[in-house]
Amino acid sequence: MKTVVDFYEKYDEESRITTNNARKIEFLMTTGVLDNHIEKTHRILEIGAGTGAYSFYYGEKGNFVIATDITPKHIEIIGQKMKERGNDINLQAEVANATDLSQFSSESFDVVLCLGPMYHLTNSSDRKTCLSEALRVLKKGGLLAIAYINKHFVLNSVMIRNKEFLTRNFIDKILDTGVTREGEKECFWTDAFFTTPDEMASYMNCFEVEIIDHLGVDGLSPYFKDAVDGMNSEEYESWLYYNMRSCREKSILGISNHGLLLCKKK
C-alpha cells in the first residue's frame, strides 16, 4: 500500500467531491441514500475516510464518528479542520489500514462506511480481509456501505481522454483482472481495483450479509461535467432529482463512475 499512500500524500483529496457541481453529485447521492438508514444515535466507523467529508457530515448531524485512513496527511487535515472549528463535534481521527482494525472491538459500531478502500486493494485476499474486518466491528443488523469503481466507466473515460490507453491490452487488463499497478504500462492512476455491479454483488455472497440497496452514485454526470457545471440552481436540482430516480436502473448502473452497495449484517 506504500504506493497508494505516496500518491495521496501529493494528491488533493480535499477538493475531489467539492470543487464543482458534477463532482458534488457523488457526495449528494451517497449521503442522500445513507440518510435513509443512519440515525443520530448510530456509532459510525469510516475506513478510508480521506479528508473526512462524510465523517464531518455525520458528525455535524450528531453522530459519534471515528474516521480512519491509511494516509497520514489525510488524518492531519481532519485534525486541522477539527481544531479550526473548535472540536464542536464528536469526531475522532486516526491512521489505520482498512485490512487491520484490531484497535476496535467486535460489534462496536452501528455503521461502517467503506467508501474508498475497494478502489485500491489490488489483492483479493486484502479485499476479503478488509470486508471481514469491517463486518467484525459491525453490530448484527448494522449497515455496511461499500463503494467501488466500475470497469466500464474506467474504460470509457480513460480511453477517450488519453488515446495512449486505447489498446486491446488495456481493455483486456481492465475487463479480465480489474487491476492496475504503478509501473505497469496500463496504469493511468496508482494501484487500483475496478469491478462491475454484478461482480461486486456476487462477491458479497461470500459474507454473512443481505444486500439492501445497490446504486450508481454519480451516474452520467462525469461524462457531462461541463453541462452539469453550467446548470443554474433550479436546473441542477432537477438533474440531481433525475439521478436519484435513475440511480438503480440496471441498464446504466455499470456506467456510473462509483457504485454503492448497502449491506445489512446478518
DSSP string, the chain: -HHHHHHHHHS-GGGTTTSSHHHHHHHHHHHHHHTTT--TT-EEEEES-TT-HHHHHHHHTT-EEEEEES-HHHHHHHHHHHHHTTS-S-EEEEE--TT--TTS-TT-EEEEEESSGGGT--SHHHHHHHHHHHHHSEEEEEEEEEEEEBHHHHHHHHHHH-GGG-SHHHHHHHHHT-EE-TTSTT-SSSSEE-B-HHHHHHHGGGSSEEEEEEEESSTTTTTTHHHHHT--HHHHHHHHHHHHHHTT-HHHHTTSSEEEEEEEE-
Is residue 240 in some structural domain? Answer: yes
Instruction: Check if the beta carbon of residue 98 is closer than 8 Å to that of residue 70.
Output: yes
Is residue 19 in some structural domain? Answer: yes
- Domain residues for the domain of 46 are 2-150+195-265
Q: How much is the pLDDT for 67?
A: 98
Which amino acid makes up residue 79? G
Length of the chain: 266
Q: How much is the pLDDT for 104?
A: 97
CA distance 242 to 224: 14
CA distance 209 to 144: 9
Is residue 172 in some structural domain? Answer: no
Is residue 178 in some structural domain? Answer: no
CA distance 43 to 51: 19
**59 CB-near residues (< 8 Å, 6+ apart):** 65, 89, 90, 91
Q: How much is the pLDDT for 254?
A: 95
Is residue 16 in some structural domain? Answer: yes
Query: For position 84, which CATH number holds?
Result: 3.40.50.150
Is residue 163 in some structural domain? Answer: no
- Read off the pLDDT of residues 58-112 as tens digits, 9 standing for 90 and up: 999 999 999 999 999 999 999 999 988 877 899 999 999 999 999 999 999 999 9
CA within 13 Å, CB half, 194: 28
Q: How much is the pLDDT for 102?
A: 97
Overall number of domains in the chain: 1
Instruction: Check if the beta carbon of residue 7 is closer than 8 Å to that of residue 71.
Output: no
Q: How much is the pLDDT for 18?
A: 72
Is residue 129 in some structural domain? Answer: yes
> Which residues, given as ranges, of the chain have pLDDT below 70?
none
Of 149, 148, 134, give the one whose Cα is nearest residue 264. Answer: 134
Is residue 95 in some structural domain? Answer: yes
